[in-house]
Amino acid sequence: MSAITEALVREKLSTVKYPGFSRDIVSFGLVKEVWVSGDDVLVQLSLATNDPRVPQAIKEGSEAALAQLPGIGKATVRIDIQASAQAAPAAGGAPMAASAIPGVKHVIAVASGKGGVGKSTVAANLAVALQKNGASVGLCDCDLYGPSIGLMFGTSERPMATEENRIIPIERAELKLMSMGFLLDDAAPAILRGPMVTKYTQQFLRQVDWGELDYLVLDLPPGTGDIQLTIVQTVALTGVVIVTTPQEVALIDARKASTMFTKVNVPVLGLIENMSYFLCPSDGQRYDIFGSGGGEREAARLKVPLLGQVPIDIATREAGDRGLPVTAADPANPVALGFLQIARTLAANVGA
């Protein structure tokens, strides 16, 4: 009979999925220690959640998986559950633990169920609007595969590091900016896969020297995959804002994103409906290109606020492409005024 080894134990544990996700508990880095003593095994896991069903399911799944090892004696799985580091009672619940970023009061993620709905545009304008309302704000582009914040702020500057090897954010439009794109060369995302992405993301989020901030806005990659989960496992979020367009296909994905964040105890602070309508510059008429009322209905269904509706606006697109979000380039533009209002509502809702 083959002897039980740590490698065999880890291999077995890598068949156990994190509840509700396609990713396994080993690649998420939940396994902290494995002790093998003869045929007996003791595994120490560590995870951050406020949902008692998650550790229960992982413990049962892990013990059942280990029981399949030939010759195994007693298999014990202990789970160290970290409590939430940054509760947000005003937002209606505590986010899952993961560590707070020292000096940063609120971390707000901007997410979308699918790509191309204007998530980065919204994240950039929201960050500028929070700053214009008097807060100190950082913006971090976490989209490893399609970073766009550099483009939107007209910079591809490589950040410097401090003597302690911490990354100093770039300053633009009175914001502190950081993007995974600033550090990677163009070919890097293609070779970063699976667990490496997780590791890189975690390292990246911990190494930036943000200083004192009222808000750090995280532009998440689109969708509800492993990177999003890694981020919520790594950083204590105040909550998430979900960007959608009004069409049913986008709303279905927004709903999925909302379900994922709720499942991991990250408060959904609200929806922002982008490309809600088009105000024709020549006739002043409003055109509901993608139909109307979708965001409102979805927000009501999810029981979260609809934080705002952003029209399709040529100046908004042009400003983004030119390297300065419209809220910074032309604060009197109606879209900019809309973002300033969204930022005020958000600030009030998180109790800032």
Nearer to ligand ADP, 8 or 242 (CB): 242
Q: Nearest distance from residue 326's CB to ligand ADP, in Å?
A: 9
Angle between helices 248-263 and 226-234 (to 10 degrees): 40
The CB-side HSE value for 118 (13 A sphere, CA atoms) comes to 24
- 237 Rama class: left (phi>0) / alpha (psi -120 to 50) / beta: beta
Which residue of the chain is nearest ligand ADP when measured via CB?
118
Residues 15 to 74: which contact ligand ADP by CB under 6 A?
A: none
The 3-state DSSP composition of the chain as helix, strand, coil percent (nearest 5) reads 35, 25, 40
Residue span binding ligand ADP (CB under 6 A) among the ranges 3-11, 88-96, 156-164, 305-313: 305-313
Q: Map residue 332 onto helix, strand or coil.
A: coil
Token output for 330: 């032309």
Amino acid at 157: E
User: What span, in angstroms and rounded, lies between the C-alpha atoms of 321 and 304?
Assistant: 31
Q: Nearest distance from residue 352's CB to ligand ADP, in Å?
A: 25
Residue span binding ligand ADP (CB under 6 A) among the ranges 12-20, 117-125, 162-170, 183-191: 117-125
- Is there binding between residue 245 and ligand ADP (CB under 6 A)? no
* Secondary structure (H, E, C), 207-276: HECCCCEEEEEEECCCCCCHHHHHHHHHECCCEEEEEECCCHHHHHHHHHHHHHHHHCCCCEEEEEEEEE
- Is there binding between residue 310 and ligand ADP (CB under 6 A)? yes
* Size (the chain), residues: 352
Nearer to ligand ADP, 115 or 334 (CB): 115
- Is there binding between residue 317 and ligand ADP (CB under 6 A)? yes
Angle between helices 248-263 and 294-302 (to 10 degrees): 20
Residue span binding ligand ADP (CB under 6 A) among the ranges 37-45, 70-78, 209-217, 312-320: 312-320
Q: Map residue 346 onto helix, strand or coil.
A: helix
Q: Nearest distance from residue 206's CB to ligand ADP, in Å?
A: 24
Residues 175 to 194: which contact ligand ADP by CB under 6 A?
A: none
- Is there binding between residue 323 and ligand ADP (CB under 6 A)? no
Sign of dihedral through CA atoms 189, 200, 239, 326?
A: negative
Nearer to ligand ADP, 148 or 349 (CB): 148
- Is there binding between residue 109 and ligand ADP (CB under 6 A)? no
- Is there binding between residue 320 and ligand ADP (CB under 6 A)? yes
Residue span binding ligand ADP (CB under 6 A) among the ranges 91-99, 115-123, 161-169, 199-207: 115-123
- Is there binding between residue 275 and ligand ADP (CB under 6 A)? yes
- Is there binding between residue 286 and ligand ADP (CB under 6 A)? no
Q: Nearest distance from residue 179's CB to ligand ADP, in Å?
A: 13
Among 316, 324, 327, 329, which residue sits at the site for ligand ADP (rule: CB under 6 A)? 316
Nearer to ligand ADP, 130 or 312 (CB): 312
Nearest-5° Cα angle at 246, 244 to 249: 80
User: What span, in angstroms and rounded, lies between the C-alpha atoms of 18 and 259?
Assistant: 15
User: Going by C-beta distance under 8 Å and a sequence separation of 6 or more, which residues neighbour residue 273?
Assistant: 244, 245, 246, 294, 295, 296, 306, 308, 309, 310
Q: Nearest distance from residue 216's CB to ligand ADP, in Å?
A: 18
Nearer to ligand ADP, 66 or 139 (CB): 139
State the binding string over 148-167 for ligand ADP (x if CB under 6 A, else -): x-------------------
Nearer to ligand ADP, 84 or 274 (CB): 274
What are residue 138's DSSP bridge partners? 176, 216
Task: Give the footprint of ligand ADP on this chain (CB under 6 A).
Answer: 112, 115-121, 148, 222, 274-275, 310, 312-313, 316-317, 320
